[in-house]
Chains A and B, each alone.
Chain A
Amino acid sequence: KAGVTQTPRYLIKTRGQQVTLSCSPISGHRSVSWYQQTPGQGLQFLFEYFSETQRNKGNFPGRFSGRQFSNSRSEMNVSTLELGDSALYLCASSSQGNQGETQYFGPGTRLLVL
């Protein structure tokens, strides 16, 4: 089975712009979670989608949003980018996202905001 794929792998944007990141889960997985990784704050949970619905949400401002399509692919959008949004964005997929199932992580998208 192919693993979790994320596109693009690297991205450079300027302050005030918006960005969309994409995540394709492992085939058959219906749960997709997003995480932000920064040197200062570490790994932080953004949100999780299951069957096209946001099921869990972290403590991020409304500029961070996401969606999931019927084929379980997910996108994450950040509007009005700030310098502090520079980070590695990781997505993870699992079959149902419950009962301690293993989450499989993609390689991440590294976003640099100038």
Chain B
Amino acid sequence: AQSVTQLDSQVPVFEEAPVELRCNYSSSVSVYLFWYVQYPNQGLQLLLKYLSGSTLVKGINGFEAEFNKSQTSFHLRKPSVHISDTAEYFCAVSAYSSASKIIFGSGTRLSIRP
């Protein structure tokens, strides 16, 4: 079975400051890794995903994440945040054998202060 731990439930940052949202996963099999964003009263939107290859993945809206297999982490980063980045962010995994079954972390609420 797979599990995902998002270490921070809330992260407040000032506008234009850098941010890192932390994610660790556990799995006995190979997995795909994802970050999704959910804006208020909306569904989920994929920010980026790691399937294989380069461990640094770039996504939409200036976000990037780095896959670290030895530390089983997939932290999300952005060098300079904007008010519009205020949302909830979910780290997720799915096993190669059941790729459509996505296991989500509990989410990190990112709040941007002007």
Contact = CB atoms under 8 A, between A and B. Distances in A.
B10 interface: no
B24 interface: no
Contact of B100 (A43, A56, A107): A56
Interface stretch (A12-20, A70-78, A97-105): A97-105
A100 B107 contact: no
A66 B46 CA distance: 25
Contacts of B51: 99-100
Interface in A39-74: 42-45, 48, 50, 55-56, 58
B100 A42 contact: no
A102 B51 CA distance: 11
Q: Is the interface of A mostly helix, strand, loop or mixed?
A: strand
B46 A99 contact: no
B103 interface: yes
Nearest to B32: A100
Nearest to B92: A43
B45 interface: yes
Contact of B44 (A50, A97, A99, A105): A105
Interface residues of B, number: 21
Contacts of A58: 101
Interface size class of A (residues with CB under 8 A): 20 to 34
A14 to B, nearest CB: 24
B43 A106 contact: yes
B67 to A, nearest CB: 12
30 contacts: A4-B43, A33-B102, A35-B104, A42-B104, A42-B106, A43-B104, A43-B107, A45-B101, A45-B102, A45-B103, A48-B100, A48-B101, A55-B100, A56-B100, A56-B101, A58-B101, A90-B43, A94-B100, A97-B99, A98-B99, A98-B100, A99-B51, A99-B99, A100-B94, A101-B99, A102-B46, A102-B49, A105-B44, A105-B45, A107-B42
Interface of A: 4, 31, 33, 35, 42-45, 48, 50, 55-56, 58, 90, 92, 94, 97-108
